Chain A
Amino acid sequence: MTTAEKYVTAAYLVVLAVILLYVVIYAFKIGRLEREVSELAERAANRDGGAPPRRSSMLRS
C-alpha cells in the first residue's frame, strides 16, 4: 500500500467510524428509552392497580 492509499483509506475509515459510533450511541439511547417506557408502564399499572398495558398498545401513538 502506498502512502497516498493509506491516507485515502484513513479518510474513508474515519467517516465510517464516526457513523458507526453514532449508531452505537443511538443504540444505547434506544435501550434507555425502552427501560424508561417499561418503568412508566409499571408505574401506571401500580397506580391503576391492574395489569400493565400490553406492549403494542403502549407504543401506538
Chain B
Amino acid sequence: MSTSLRNNAAVAVALAAAVLLLTAIALALYWAPNDADQGFSQRIFYIHVPVALTAYACFGWGAWKALRLLWTREARYDLESYTAVHMGVIFGVLTLVTGSIWARISWGVWWSWSERQLVLFLILFLFYSAYFMLRYSTDPGPRRARMSAVYALFGVVLIPISFLAIRLAENFIHPVVFTRDGPQMAGSMFFVFCMSLAGTLALAAALYLNELAGKRLDERLRELREALA
C-alpha cells in the first residue's frame, strides 16, 4: 500500500472512530435506559466492556502478526506485531481502571482477588507488559523479532482462558451479560453497546495505523542517519 493511501486510510478510520465514539458516549449517558439492578452506574458497561474486548482484539492481532512473521520471515510483521501489543497494553490499562471504578460503585471495593476474570485479565496484562522488557533487553535484529513473536503468540493462549474464566467460575459477582441465549439486555442497550464497540475498535485501528506510521518513519530515519554517517 502506498504512503498516501495509508495516510488516507488512517484519517478515515480516525474520523469514523471520533463519530462512533462521541455518538456512543452521548447515547450511553443520555439515551440508554437505566439498568433495573445497578441503576445509573451500569452505564460504565458501555465503555468498560468494549475497551476490554478491544484489548483482546489488539493482543490477538499482535499474535496473528507474530505468526505471520514466524511463517514468512518478513521483517515488517515484527513492527506490526509490536505496535498491536503496544495498543493492547494501552486498552488493557483502560480496562483495569474503568473496571476498578465500576467495582467500587457496584461491589464497594476497587479490586477483588477472588474474581478469576479480574485476576486472569491482570495476568494477561502483566504478561504483555513484560513483552516490552523482553524486547528491549535484546539487540534489534531477526533474533529479537523471532523471540518477540514467540512471546506474543504464547500470550494469546491466555485470551480465551480470560474470556471464559467467568463462565468457569463457581462463585462470582462479576456480571454475565453474554450467555448462550444471547445478550441479556434490552435491544436499546445492545445497540449502544455495539456502537461503542465499533467506536473503540475504530479508535484502536486509528491509533495502530498512526503509531505504525510513526515507528516506520523512525526506522527509515535511523537508516538514513546511518547512510549519512
Contacts and interface: CB of A to CB of B under 8 A. Distances in A.
Interface of A: 2-5, 7-8, 10-12, 14-15, 18-19, 22, 26, 29-30, 33, 36-37, 40, 43-44, 47, 61
Interface string B133-158: 00000000000000000000000000
B69 to A, nearest CB: 23
B48 A11 contact: yes
B79 to A, nearest CB: 15
Contacts of B3: 61
Contacts of B104: 7
A15 B97 CA distance: 9
A18 B92 CA distance: 12
Contact of A19 (B41, B102, B203, B214): B203
13 contacts: A4-B41, A7-B41, A7-B104, A12-B25, A12-B29, A12-B47, A14-B98, A18-B90, A18-B94, A19-B203, A40-B221, A40-B224, A43-B228
Closest 5 CB pairs of A and B: A7-B105, A4-B41, A4-B40, A61-B3, A11-B101
Interface of B: 2-3, 25, 29, 39-41, 43-44, 47-48, 51, 90, 93-94, 97-98, 101-102, 104-105, 203, 207, 210-211, 214, 217-218, 221, 224-225, 228
A19 to B, nearest CB: 7
Contacts of B94: 14-15, 18
A26 B44 CA distance: 27
B228 A15 contact: no
